[in-house]
Amino acid sequence: PFFTRSIDPHVGTSAQGKLAFDLFEFSSDTFKDILQNLREGRGQGKWSVSKGVATEEYWKHLDAEVKTLLLNHFGGRKWIWMLRHKSWPNHLLDCEVLQIAAAAYLGLFKYEETK
């Protein structure tokens, strides 16, 4: 659900080849599933939020997306995470998901594939 690849931000310029860094890419849907499982007490690990962070605004962000079954014209089906409403903020959800993905990448959290 994640990988890195080396990129040169100066490709096509005179500075090409002087700098490269690893770009971290991950499946946000996979890690949203993991976060949802942790929030519901399923799977490995324990997830908690300190009192100072657990504001109404925080919970609104974390509940900004729902897993929805998407159907196409050919009878195909796929579960995806979608915003509840286009104006509902999800920035803190994105932060939580990135933290789990980064922890998995660094070996601090062993992810389990979800179904």
Give the per-residue pLDDT at 47: 85
Record the pTM: 0.85
Give the per-residue pLDDT at 101: 95
Count of helix runs (H) and strand runs (E) in the chain: 3, 4
Amino acid at 32: K
DSSP 68: E
pLDDT by 10s per residue, the chain, length 115 = 999 999 999 999 999 999 999 999 999 999 999 999 999 998 777 888 999 999 999 999 999 999 999 998 888 999 999 999 999 999 999 999 999 999 999 999 887 665 5
Please say whether the beta carbons of 64 and 81 come within 8 A: no
Please say whether the beta carbons of 97 and 28 come within 8 A: yes
Give the per-residue pLDDT at 37: 93
Residue of 11, 30, 12, 32 whose CA lies nearest to 20: 11
Give the per-residue pLDDT at 113: 60
Give the per-residue pLDDT at 20: 94
Residue of 87, 114, 88, 89 whose CA lies nearest to 100: 114
Long-range contacts of 38-42 (CB under 8 A, 24+ apart): 38/100
Q: Spell out the alpha helix ranges (H) of the chain.
A: 28-39, 56-62, 91-105
The CA distance from 107 to 104, in Å, is 5
